Structure 1
Amino acid sequence: MTSPTWTGEADYPTAQKISLFGWLRVALRGSLIAAVLVLGIVTLTLIRLIEKPIFGLRRPVGGYVPALVCRISLFLMGIRFHTSGTPMRGGGAAVANHSSWLDIFTLNAKNPVFFVSKSEVARWPGIGFLAKIAGTVFIARDRKEAQAQKDLFENNLAAGQKLLFFPEGTSTDSLRVLPFKPTLFAAFFAESLRESIQVQPVTVNYHAPEGADPRFYGWWGDMEFGAHLLQMLAARSHGRVEVIYHPPLSVRDFQNRKALAAAAESQVRAGHFRTQ
């Protein structure tokens, strides 16, 4: 299940020079968001001390802390957040297109989920630590680990978690949806899950600020996280992000993982503002 990084054919957006006022916005927004993150980490850690011995993998209360933190962080950054459709209730899975590290915030802001991420993310400075605290499920991008990944999925789904992963396997410039890889969909066809599990396709549309590069929010290829973060914090004005929750798909209605992946991809594409 190797997943090469998507680089595209065009150059990366030109980084805007940060003015004095831009640096002031970086300092103000950055400090406020950092404070919210620290408060969220402390709160979640205290909740898990009580929650874990009782509920194990489930997080009936703690799961809402990252969602609140993400919603506040988007507000502090100045990114307008809109949703349509209805998030699926209970356990199961969600799949979405992947455009940026910002997806962590936008996809958790309304509907608490447990992200599935490549194992390398666990070692990223800052982001890796936050991902671990939030309960991210890390997987290795190696075909030899396919069965182990399937077993991990099954255990978490059986515990009632709502998992979210990106079937494209890599992030893009936010202007496209790449073909979905069906590998991880195989876990849903386990005998203990197939009859009850649903998968909800979710489309994320980033609308750049007026006059900015349409790929403003995209983070892909060899782009540096720190530089992109500074651009987000320094921006004088922001655009908006729209999250569309499509009707859930019942696994039992599909013959195999490839058919399920294709159906999910079709719905995500149908909601994407650049592929309609």
Structure 2
Amino acid sequence: MEPRPLGGRVRAIRRISFALIWTMLAIPIQALMLLLPGHAKVAFARIYNRVLCRLIGIRVQVVGEQARGGSVLFLSNHTSWLDILVLGGTLEACFVAKAEVGQWPLVRTIARMGRTVFVSRKRGTTGRESDEIRARLAGGDSLILFPEGTSNDGTRTLPFRSAFLGAAAGARLVQPVSIVYDRLGGLPACRRDRPLFAWYGDMDIGSHFWRIARRSGARATVLLHEAVDPALYADRKDLTQRVEAVVAAGASQLRQNRVPVPLSL
């Protein structure tokens, strides 16, 4: 399964070059969209991510139906920065990201063009940031949140933090999402393959992007579970536990290469 040295390098250079060219073309287009009223800015952000997935060689399979109508809070497990591209190309929604992302060169520009909500996760700012998320949801925006609070090696789902769901009451619906990178070289990915896609710890994005771009036949599967009204649950801890169980079970289906089936809370 190791890439051919020369073929892998040529593939990576081609993919990274096309990805950079597409990004440079997309930034001024999205900047214009942000000045215009309506849904165009959300639709183009989705197109940008979808095309970028194709350019870097990741095919995306979607199982289940996205909740429509706006003001939806999507809650997903988190493995890698690749999740941003995959989910951003699948769902018509903006991301909630840690404040550090807003300081990374180029990435911060792309994130701001996508109308990302940045959160610092400091005690003193939690209330203000929750208010911003509620305001975006009340305004009709749908948001994507990673309640684990960090990425991991892709072999498990970390516990969800109920504090991150403090703004869930402002959502019309909450939809659990499971995402797993389940194909590599056109074959089912096994446990040893998952760290290739995972981005965590002190990994740098440049070398990780290079490793991904060298490989062929990669696929991500997004499993969209049944959406629910958060008002039906006693409190955010109850909702957090139930969403975590569904997301983890869905991710387990995908890691075991079983036929994925959307689950209900």
Unaligned runs of 5+ in 1: 1-15, 52-58
Residue pair 1:208, 1:215 contacting (<8 A) in 2 also: no
The yes-or-no answer on 1:106 pairing with 2:86 is: yes
The yes-or-no answer on 1:201 pairing with 2:176 is: yes
Distance 1:254 1:202 in 2: 18
The yes-or-no answer on 1:94 pairing with 2:94 is: no
TM-score by length of 2: 0.88
Give the SS at the match of 1:206.
strand
Amino acid at match of 2:182: H
Q: Root-mean-square deviation (CA), in Å?
A: 1.9
Give the equivalent residue in structure 2 for 1:124.
Answer: 104
Q: 2:148 aligns with which of 168, 181, 186?
A: 168
Residue pair 1:208, 1:216 contacting (<8 A) in 2 also: no
Give the equivalent residue in structure 2 for 1:263.
Answer: 242
Q: Residues 67 and 225 from structure 1, CA distance in 2 versus in 1: closer, same or farther, beyond 3 angstroms?
A: same
Give the equivalent residue in structure 2 for 1:49.
Answer: 35
Distance 2:255 2:209 in 1: 24
Percent identical residues: 32
Distance 1:199 1:100 in 2: 22
The yes-or-no answer on 1:40 pairing with 2:26 is: yes
Q: More deviation in 129-138 or 207-216?
A: 207-216
Give the SS at the match of 2:196.
coil
Distance 2:137 2:179 in 1: 23
Give the SS at the match of 2:140.
coil
Give the SS at the match of 1:115.
strand
Residue pair 2:96, 2:143 contacting (<8 A) in 1 also: yes
Give the SS at the match of 1:215.
helix
C-alpha deviation, 1:175, in angstroms = 1.3
Give the SS at the match of 1:109.
helix
TM-score by length of 1: 0.84
Q: How many residues in Structure 1 have an aligned counterpart in Structure 2?
A: 248
Runs (4+) of structure 1 exceeding 3 A deviation are: none
C-alpha deviation, 1:238, in angstroms = 2.9
Q: 2:222 aligns with which of 235, 239, 243?
A: 243
Give the SS at the match of 1:117.
strand
Q: Residues 84 and 17 from structure 1, CA distance in 2 versus in 1: closer, same or farther, beyond 3 angstroms?
A: closer
Matches within 5 A, 1:123-142: 123-142=103-122
Residue pair 1:98, 1:170 contacting (<8 A) in 2 also: yes
Unaligned runs of 5+ in 2: 259-265
C-alpha deviation, 1:97, in angstroms = 0.3
C-alpha deviation, 1:27, in angstroms = 2.0
Residue pair 2:75, 2:145 contacting (<8 A) in 1 also: yes
Distance 1:180 1:85 in 2: 22
